[in-house]
Chain A
């Protein structure tokens, strides 16, 4: 039961058409009445809702199979059509085939030599790996060209297909419509071998079956009627369509029997054809779609299958599942990255089937006694005879608990340590579904560690996530080994960690490890205790007058031994000559044998999505478990540190001294003057155009450049007054959040607002807003915002800012849909590719696409940022080892 042996597997599926005999054979009732229910509300026999077709009302039994709703699969009926009807979807094929066969003897219009030639090719093509469909197309084309039949020498006429379902024979006297009866007669006469040549497999489908003489009526279970609250029955669209067909069919039959005039018969026949066509596909071009009384187009067979909401994409390729939960997410820094906090209310509903053995029988009994309402309990019990006991309705659970013996299955509540799958949509990459260990918690949100926000692309502004509980032992093992968060730290996209520190973790790490930070013994103890560190303290860096430890020492405790790496931190100023270890800003990071010797820890050291970082080295050298422990314990410590210290940002952080503000004002007014000068030279016609640009383009470009430069220098002025004591600056510099640009926009000047990469120019005739003169090309009139966010924008600036912001919103909306479609196409094109045991990459039918994946057979997620082997590290490791020896 837990891992039921599934040895049966569907091996192939064959497609084909139903012959009229097949349809009659599988039919349980002939349908002749174009009505549903009688006055008493009972279905009419031989009507469209004939009780023999299955049951849809709960409580009733099927007249055919005796099952109740849910178990009765439904049964087909049939309608005998008074006149044959062409199947709309095959009209094109029928037309093509008719053109390729003789109108008299109905043989393929190819000479015997040609036929034998093609038959040989038919045998050869599959061996060459070619598709015979191409060959059939060739035959259809060639046969259609011949004017006389090589077999009976009859002259051939042109055939015209008038969409959707009429075929005309164009003779010299004019065109004559071929009735479905004529067409069917010709198709019936085609030999099996000829059908094969034309790409039709007569064993599965003869084309004349596409001219319907009998119409299959789907079971009522396929088209259930809905009873509205008022008690009025509302029929399914398919039923409506079937009623139409039956009604017209009966009328046609009556008229035929009565010997009605040709004209009336033909009209009715045409109408029947229309109803059948729309019954199959209500979106055929050339005819108006059949509509519901309310004017809504009916959703008939083709519409049920097609498109995103169709059967294929929404029910067959995607399935609804049990054992899942969804709720809002919220952060919990005390969780390990492997864990997920699950609300106890959810844990009491989701269950895991656990087989009772002699080793866990006592535990299981306890669970049963606790029952469905107290948390580590159990909802159902499955006895060895397969009977399921719902513990909600058991009066005395201790009696039931006593009956438990090995072999029972207990469906127990989700409990701490269980493995579950956690997912956030859109699932763009495999890290969008990862396995977490459960921690049952109070309150009603899923709790997750902040480290997993980047792979899920989650934040906590109301995001919801899904949780799935694997039910079999195999699936749990696979989830734990392959899908656990720690196994997913390295992204297959670029071979670096996608999981890592973010925001406050980074700020805190900087505060901890910067040179000026010294900690007393009490502080050190406090911090290390939160990180669950239980070993001896390292010797203090300063022994007298008080013992003090550096932040680097504390951080080093958690770096595993043997880690060696040096890199430039995010706070690096990118000096022309790098002083490396002697960096004035302590931005050259050196880790030797797991000790942070120089430099500060910031985004470059352990940020999310930073390849070649300290964290990356730790995973590569010591594996995911060590890396996870490192991250978890450092994270706890850093959160403690930053909560103790406090870290915030306020107005003061973006307030500049008066002198600086005045300098910025001057810079901006200078820039404005320069722009005005440029406009003047342009208006005088003295501006030299850049090569390949018009004068106006040149002017725009120069103005943009001037204003950008002004914004940059204003930002630089602001930067001078915002030092590393400023929390906003710390965040920007360490890469925790925000950028220098954001800062200068807050403190100094917001800058140019752009739409489509250009200054804003649309709005009124010749001007952006009525506040300006027509043709004003000045900075302010075209969306340059001289205020800062701190000082506030005036209404005109605010308007331009909104225009720029709106473009961004529209852009994201458009982008998500186009990129989503691209990804879907990439996915369907590539999903069958797999690495075989011989190392080749092949498609599903076994075609080789690559002899080795990526030309070197390296898995990007196991590579070191794309490199298969990091030779430098290897050399360092070997030489380091032997030198120590």
Chain B
């Protein structure tokens, strides 16, 4: 994720500055030419330091002009620096790179949206429908393939298999016992899951909770901890009496109905860990121990001590949006969609996915692709009617007296007009020779 954030930041910067710079391009290129002349003059002296200086200077101007994206720029710098080229060769390389980059730019009018939709949709036919086990972690199953891709573009509120990947603080990253401890802090433990039996003792008018000592040991719990957790939850609705591996709860209002209700409630009481994280798996990877969780709760996980908040990751997009904001969500959509496609061996250019992610997050909220999101909030009533829920949109347009400006694709297809895309986005009228028009009017 960090990688993509970086690229986004730098490019937004560059885009901001390229726009105003678009006009004074001419003076910039003449400056380049003059510097070229200088170099040819200086070439007679060829010393290594002179070349280095020249390279430095050229790189500097190229960076300022922002003719190349930063990624290409750094690649160029690293690759050319240790090559030992002459000035002419160096200049040729730079010119070639810039030229080659500029030739690969999108042309105005290009239907990038359509191409992106096709590029993501077409491999969908070849993807699996089944849920597979997470790469490497056999215990966790994570939705993959087409269902997951649909989940991402739908921006679902509750994905079917939310998981987190939690890195530990750097100092304790390679300590297994620390990892164990933090895993225990995270994993949600309910009374139910450490109790061997929760029953109602009618004689004593109490709820009888038998705790399993082995499980308690495993989760690092004591009877007292469980008792206080229960007490906090039921708050004065009853008295809690801890014993040897057993807890009795005497409700304040000892009707049978109340007893039953309370016992249900107590089963669900969280003793330890954070909500929704039902299972934690510890794995050793190259950079230390990493916790994989089943269930996700980013907000609470961030507050757990020993967790590295810079590297924590969840696949629940809504949570990322709520906790980290829209830019992070955009990056998460890209990362998630990309990993689904790569997992299935589909080669899809990131730029298509970036476009989808940007479209979904363009107005500061996550909007799903579909009738409750982007397609449902289109400007044109005709376009909306042609997608889904036809009647509702037509009636709505009628009563509101909507004006359809006919700028989209569907509307113009409906009317049988040229669509404003590609060659259709250019208006070119030719007034042919007068005799020809005369012939036309004759008809």
Contact = CB atoms under 8 A, between A and B. Distances in A.
Contact of A826 (B93, B121, B132, B398): B121
A207 interface: yes
B201 interface: no
Contacts of B442: 384
A306 interface: yes
A7 interface: yes
A831 B11 contact: no
B405 A12 contact: yes
Interface in B87-142: 88-89, 92-93, 96-97, 100-101, 103-125, 127-130, 132, 138-140
Contact of B429 (A7, A13, A133): A7
A855 B11 contact: yes
Nearest to A819: B124
Size category, B interface: 35 or more
B323 interface: no
Interface in A79-112: 89-90, 93
Nearest to B282: A691
Question: Residue among A386, A691, A844, A871 with the most chain B CB within 10 A?
Answer: A844
Interface string A803-846: 00000000100111011101101111111111111110100111
Instruction: Tell me the interface secondary structure of chain B in the complex.
Output: helix
Nearest to B440: A5
A203 interface: yes
Contacts of A874: 93, 96-97, 100
Interface string B56-78: 00000000000011011001100
A861 B402 CA distance: 39
Nearest to A492: B115
B77 to A, nearest CB: 10
A234 B108 CA distance: 54
Contact of A844 (B22, B369, B379): B379
Contact of A834 (B7, B391, B416, B421): B421
A205 interface: yes
B264 interface: no
Nearest to B103: A862
A853 B121 contact: no
Contacts of B423: 478, 482
Contacts of B440: 5
Contacts of B375: 825, 828-829
B391 A305 contact: yes
Contact of A13 (B406, B421, B425): B406
Question: Residue among A312, A317, A869 with the most chain B CB within 10 A?
Answer: A869
B202 interface: no
A761 to B, nearest CB: 16
A14 interface: yes
Nearest to B80: A875
A846 B83 CA distance: 47
A862 B118 CA distance: 17
A15 B355 contact: no
A417 interface: no
Interface string A195-208: 00001110111010
B304 interface: no
A838 B105 CA distance: 12
A823 B414 contact: no
A838 to B, nearest CB: 7
A242 B401 CA distance: 27
A93 B396 CA distance: 9
Question: Residue among A691, A692, A757, A878 with the most chain B CB within 10 A?
Answer: A878
Interface in A1-42: 5-7, 9-17
Given A822-B124, A874-B100, A835 B115 contact: no
Interface in A837-874: 837-839, 841, 844-847, 849-864, 866, 868-872, 874
Contacts of B130: 756-757
B355 A493 contact: no
B373 A868 contact: no
A461 interface: no
A428 interface: yes
Interface in B259-291: 279, 281
Given A856-B11, A859-B105, A868-B104, A827 B417 contact: no
A815 B347 contact: no
A11 B16 CA distance: 33
B69 A856 contact: yes
B432 to A, nearest CB: 9
A287 interface: no
Contacts of B110: 834-835, 853, 859
A407 interface: yes
Contacts of B22: 838
B42 interface: no
A727 B259 CA distance: 77
Interface stretch (B47-55, B218-226, B241-249, B380-388): B380-388
A385 B443 contact: yes
A690 B123 CA distance: 35
Contacts of B417: 9-10
Contacts of B281: 691-692
Question: Residue among B83, B351, B375, B421 with the most chain A CB within 10 A?
Answer: B351
Given A430-B115, A494-B347, A201 B401 contact: yes
A434 B246 CA distance: 76
A306 B101 contact: no
Given A199-B400, A833-B359, A853 B406 contact: no
A855 B7 contact: yes
A207 B399 contact: yes
Contact of B439 (A407, A478, A871, A877): A407
B408 interface: yes
Given A15-B381, A868-B72, A872-B79, A201 B109 contact: no
B256 interface: no
Contacts of A828: 375, 383, 386-387, 410
A829 B373 contact: yes
Given A306-B391, A835-B110, A869-B101, A849 B362 contact: yes
B394 to A, nearest CB: 7
Nearest to B111: A834
Given A14-B404, A693-B139, 10 more contacts: A10-B415, A14-B403, A306-B390, A317-B386, A815-B125, A819-B127, A833-B359, A845-B405, A854-B354, A874-B93
23 contacts: A6-B418, A11-B405, A12-B403, A13-B406, A13-B415, A93-B399, A205-B398, A482-B422, A492-B119, A493-B352, A495-B349, A819-B146, A820-B125, A831-B111, A833-B111, A838-B19, A844-B379, A849-B359, A862-B106, A868-B101, A868-B104, A869-B97, A875-B83
Interface of A: 5-7, 9-17, 89-90, 93, 133, 199-201, 203-205, 207, 210, 281, 302, 305-307, 310, 312-313, 316-317, 319, 384-386, 407, 428-430, 478, 482, 492-496, 611, 690-693, 701, 756-757, 811, 814-816, 818-820, 822-823, 825-839, 841, 844-847, 849-864, 866, 868-872, 874-875, 877-879, 881-882
Interface of B: 7-8, 11-12, 14-16, 18-19, 22, 68-69, 71-72, 75-76, 79-80, 83, 85-86, 88-89, 92-93, 96-97, 100-101, 103-125, 127-130, 132, 138-140, 146, 149-150, 153, 279, 281, 347-352, 354-356, 358-359, 362, 369-370, 373-375, 378-383, 385-387, 390-391, 394-395, 397-411, 413-418, 420-423, 425, 429, 439-440, 442-443
